[in-house]
Structure 1
């Protein structure tokens, strides 16, 4: 058998095996209430969700204007995208993270948070 065919069979089997393992691990993790969270975006959002949340005055002002709610912030922390170009920078004895998400009205928002060792500070919420 030629090398090309052996390589193709090997890669096809490797692909099928990887799909099976990922499916199997996700199924087992969901039974135990564990998240399958190994990618950088997922890990950062999970870390931000797991800590207690403090709200800065700028964020309180945005929340009081009623165009964004705390539920929108929570959904953005679950399904949003971390902008790593602007994030993971030292800032006020913590690290700043910029998360792009959406409101319930499907408006794009940008959330700026400061991640400390024991808490997270919601600094500001802006319309995009």
Structure 2
């Protein structure tokens, strides 16, 4: 078989394979609720978002001050940065995490949460 025929067969098979990979993996990625989190920051935030969120009494008073809203906290748990040097340490039968983010007014905040096996406790909110 001549080289140009082998090259044509190879390219046809390659294009067919690429089509099937895009078709099947693209459908999986487009499915609702599918999120690919492989980095540590993404995995921690995803785990914290998937559990019910409780508030400490200190956080409830801060939320009543109206300089921060629940939407800001949800955005921080979605797009924030976990400070791993101060996080993932045992604390009150759970693990403590410090997450840095921003409010809608572009103020830097720091959120401290405790990750229990069945819930997440929002313990402290601070302005930076």
Cα RMSD, aligned residues only:
1.7
Cα distance in structure 2, aligned partners of 1:107 and 1:65: 15
Q: Which residue of the partner structure matches residue 64 of structure 1?
A: 64
Matches of 2:99 and 2:61, distance apart in 1 = 18
Q: Which runs of 5+ in 1 are unaligned?
A: 1-19
Instruction: Determine the C-alpha separation between the residues in 2 that align with 1:51 and 1:74.
Output: 12
Tell me the matched-pair count: 106
1:94 aligns with 2:102: no
Equivalent position SS for 2:101: strand
Structure 2: distance between partners of 1:48 and 1:76: 11
Superposed, 1:2-17 pairs within 5 Å as: none
In the other structure, the counterpart of 1:109 is: 109
In structure 2, C-alpha distance between the alignment counterparts of 1:83 and 1:53, rounded to whole Å: 20
Structure of greater Rg: 2
SS at match of 2:29: helix
Matching residue of 2:3: none
In structure 2, runs of 5+ residues without a counterpart are 1-17
Classify 1:110/1:44 alpha carbon distance in 2 versus 1 (closer, same or farther; 3 Å).
same
| Poorly superposed stretches of 4+, deviation over 2 Å | 24-30
